[in-house]
Amino acid sequence: MIAKFATAITLVVATPAMAAPVCGTTSRIAELQRAWADPHGSLLIASHRGGHLKAPENSLAAIDEAVAAGADAVETDVQVSADGVPFILHDQKLDRTTDGTGRAADKTYAELRKLRLKGSDLPPPTLLEFLTRTCGRVLVDLDMKTDRFAPVIAVIQELGMIDQVMLFDADSDLLRAARAIEPKLQVMTRFTAKVKLDELNRGLAPVRIVHADPESLDPASRDAIRQVPARIWENALGELDMLMVANAPKACPLLKSMLDLGVNAIQTDRPALLREYLRKCA
């Protein structure tokens, strides 16, 4: 996989004909960066695919919904077009979320611009457009749906947003290759009980955050993560989100069990409701 990735480093990024602004640091971003840098700090909330319950998922409008809901970070998914332009879309195929068909990454930039997101009159945003919208407002977790990291990193660098964007991939070898391009790149690794944490994070220091599941967070693993030190990211997607929506009695015990495991970054489809439950269950 590394050999395949190495060819991507030499790619010339096909940039749309638009001038990229340079993103500055706002007081809000400075506050979030201080929190992010503290592995034992207060809980951070990430909005899954933006505020996709009120706007098309991974759209520019979804960013606005996530910010309005009080999210600290927006999680989104990035791919790269056939001619090298990073764009935002979750699925490998276009069918579910756009009026197009076929594999998204097989389309050129021009072909993608002709598509429309379902529920919108706009195409899937480019990474440049997406980050321009988040700039100074909210942190970004980029879930890599491609192994072509070089064009993605080039956009982040162009905008001056290395300290506002984090890359996530379950393959630590790819993250190591990405760090070879940009040593200051923030990354999140995927921890499971099957892989030792020191091997997972080898060559990636500093790792500020580790994506883990409850079954992998035994006492020894939690201690190892604290020693890194790193935040623990877990998903509320599914069970906890549904329990909160239903105002079920089990919601608070489940949330407390996550926090007792040391989780201090939670991804949710309902950031405002999660924040309400954090107060309610305290």
pLDDT digits (tens, 9 = 90+) for 232-258: 999 999 999 999 999 999 999 999 999
* Helices within the chain (DSSP H only): 2-9, 27-37, 60-68, 109-113, 127-134, 149-159, 172-181, 197-200, 219-227, 239-245, 251-260, 271-280
pLDDT of residue 259: 96
pLDDT of residue 143: 98
Q: Quick one: pLDDT band at residue 282, thresholds 50, 70, 90?
A: confident
Pick 21 or 270 by higher pLDDT. 270
Evaluate if residue 274 carries a pLDDT over 70: yes
Q: How far apart are CA 170 and CA 189, in angstroms?
A: 6
Report residue 201 as tokens: 């994070």
Report residue 230 as tokens: 């790193």
Residue type at 78 in one-letter notation: V
Pick 164 or 215 by higher pLDDT. 164
Evaluate if residue 10 carries a pLDDT over 80: no
Residue type at 244 in one-letter notation: M
pLDDT of residue 21: 59
Evaluate if residue 14 carries a pLDDT over 70: no
pLDDT more than 70, % of the chain:
93
pLDDT of residue 4: 37
Q: Give the tens place of pLDDT for each residue, 85-99.
A: 999 999 999 999 999
pLDDT of residue 25: 86
- CATH fold label, 2-13+43-280: TIM Barrel (3.20.20)
Query: Cα 141 from chain centroid?
Result: 2
Q: Domain ranges in the chain?
A: 2-13+43-280
Q: Give the tens place of pLDDT for each residue, 203-219.
A: 898 888 999 988 899 99
**What's the pTM?**
0.91
pLDDT of residue 203: 86
Evaluate if residue 6 carries a pLDDT over 70: no
Evaluate if residue 26 carries a pLDDT over 90: yes
Evaluate if residue 39 carries a pLDDT over 70: yes
- Going 12 to 17 to 22 to 26, the CA torsion angle's sign is negative
> Is residue 56 a contact partner of residue 258, using CB atoms and an 8 Å limit?
no
Q: Give the tens place of pLDDT for each residue, 42-89.
A: 999 999 999 999 999 999 999 999 999 999 999 999 999 999 999 999
Nearest to 31 by CA among 166, 105, 138: 138
pLDDT of residue 239: 96
Q: Quick one: pLDDT band at residue 199, thresholds 50, 70, 90?
A: confident
Rg (Cα) of the chain, in Å, rounded? 18
Q: Quick one: pLDDT band at residue 222, thresholds 50, 70, 90?
A: very high
What would the DSSP string read from start to end of 206-230? ---EEE--GGG--HHHHHHHHHTT-
Q: How far apart are CA 123 and CA 131, in angstroms?
A: 15
Report residue 64 as tokens: 């606005």
> Is residue 131 a contact partner of residue 162, using CB atoms and an 8 Å limit?
no
DSSP 267: E
**Residue 142 φ/ψ, nearest 5 degrees:** -95, 110
pLDDT of residue 22: 84
Q: How far apart are CA 279 and CA 263, in angstroms?
A: 16
* Region for 103 from its dihedrals, namely left if φ exceeds 0, alpha if ψ lies in -120 to 50, beta otherwise: beta
